Amino acid sequence: MVFPIAGGTQDTSYEIENSLRFNDDDTAYLNRTRSSQSNTTGTFSVWTKMGNPDADNILFGGHTDVNNRSYIYFSDPTGYGGIFSRTSGSADINFATNALYRDPSAWYHVVVAIDTTQGTESNRFKMYVNGEQITSFSASSYPSQNASLPILNQAAQTVGGGYGSSAVSAMAEGYMADAHYIDGTQYAASDFGETNDNGVWIPKKFTGSFGTNGFKLEFKQTGTGTASASTIGADTSGNDNHLTSNNLAALDVTEDTPTNNFCTLSSVDNDGVVLSEGNCNFDTSSGNNEGVRGTIGVQNGKWYYECKITGSAGMSAGNIGYSRPEVPVTSGPASVLGLFANGSSTFGLYNNSSGKTSLDASAGIGQNDIIGVALDLDSSTKTIAYYRNGSIMGSAQTINASILGDFLLPVMLDDGGVNDVVGSFNFGNPTFSISSGNADANGYGNFEYAPPSGYYSLCTKNLAEFG
């Protein structure tokens, strides 16, 4: 069971409605050309949920070329957060945290605030994570007084990637929400967030000045390409400092936010499955006996999600369903409550290795088929039902008691067979096109097929009510 940084029933009047999903393999980022000025002071604030903690994840940068560039990262392949900058080929600021940030289930709030005019060097750079100022760094090189850093003074600025040796690279993999760039003022984390009555750091509305070149990204628009008020990178600060989107699509705007955290697949509870698109897409073609679990576990309630098979071979070896967190993810069908294929056309339920139940002997599951999974943990007889393209496969089946534990988490297990499984999980934040759009009864999520009556998407607002 995971406990998100934010999301649930906390008392807050400030709700974040959207986030932007970045997939590093797409070289996806936002950029703008700012009006030229030599600036010594600024603040960047963003909520982020990592997709791959083992890669570079750059949040914000500014540059002209390889010798004049700065970027804020969270995190690097080891898990550190920090900033790196050089001017005229010489490093002018470099910080890396001692703390490691590697939880792909949680939304983190990151604030970096710079004011090089300060006489005390420790006041020239401040970094906050979830409201707490970081004071322990493995690397700490403060800028000289009155230094003008590329992240604050260069015309080219990027969100979701930074300038490497010759181009924008080291792309973010995951999600960003409620991004602010403040031009000319050094703000604290408390200007963007607050602690609620439960001791959880949550977002709050920023009411300060954005300055000349500042912007706010709420990701309320879905247009792509050239910067405007109707595209993904629309600035809602009132400055109209819009950003251009690169290799991003309307589907990358999602409902997964710090105030309602959706389930994804876990890049750390994972044995060999290749993940992408904010940990929603999976590929088991690198071998056999690979498995990955989701980030939200449940012990009560009725839950629904979808899985689209995108591999051309369809599904003949996959198990899509739930498993207990204490059992190794690749321990085999005995630990999985999941859909199995017996040959190319007979599909059934694994309650464990001795509990196979035939569900459907008709045509197999092929490319572009969508499997719906409906789990009922509220009734006296715990059941699971599978749907293919909106039609139930057989009937709802009673769950074998040996599978039930304190919690069940979504799982994808490739236990060997003729075809590897490639696809996309939709917990309400789809990476594939939805033809009509169906939310659950609380209005959360976006599904191809309507969830069965009384079933809900796996997100923290629903979890707080039903889980």
Would the pLDDT of 152 be above 80? Answer: yes
Residues 294-316 have a mean pLDDT of 91
Tens of pLDDT, residues 169-210: 878 889 999 999 999 999 999 999 999 999 999 999 999 999
**pLDDT in the model for residue 8:** 45
Bond from prior residue into 75 cis (ω within 30 degrees of 0): yes
Joined tokens for residue 160: 């979701």
Residue with the bigger pLDDT between 64 and 203: it is 203
Which is nearest to 370 in space by CA: 429, 330, 411, 423? 423
Confidence check: pLDDT of 121 > 60: yes
- Pick the more confident residue, 107 or 171: 107
pLDDT level of residue 5 (50, 70, 90 thresholds): very low
Write out the DSSP string of 417-461. -SS--EEEEESSS-SS--SS-B--TTS---BSSPPPTT-B-SBHH
Query: pLDDT, tens digit, for every residue of 360-395?
Result: 877 778 899 999 999 999 999 999 999 999 999 999
Tens digits of residue pLDDT in 239-286:
999 999 999 999 999 999 999 999 999 999 999 899 999 999 999 887
Q: Is the pLDDT of residue 4 over 60?
A: no
**Residue closest to 219 by CA, chosen among 32, 27, 22:** 22
Q: What pLDDT, on the 0 to 100 scale, is given for residue 411?
A: 93
What integer pLDDT is reported at residue 418 of this predicted model?
56
End-to-end distance of the chain based on CA atoms, in angstroms?
A: 11
- Cα(183)–Cα(173) distance, integer angstroms: 26
CA 116 to chain centre: 33
Integer Rg of the chain from CA: 23
* 42-66: average pLDDT: 92
pLDDT band at 317 (very low <50, low <70, confident <90, very high): low
Higher pLDDT, 75 or 416: 75
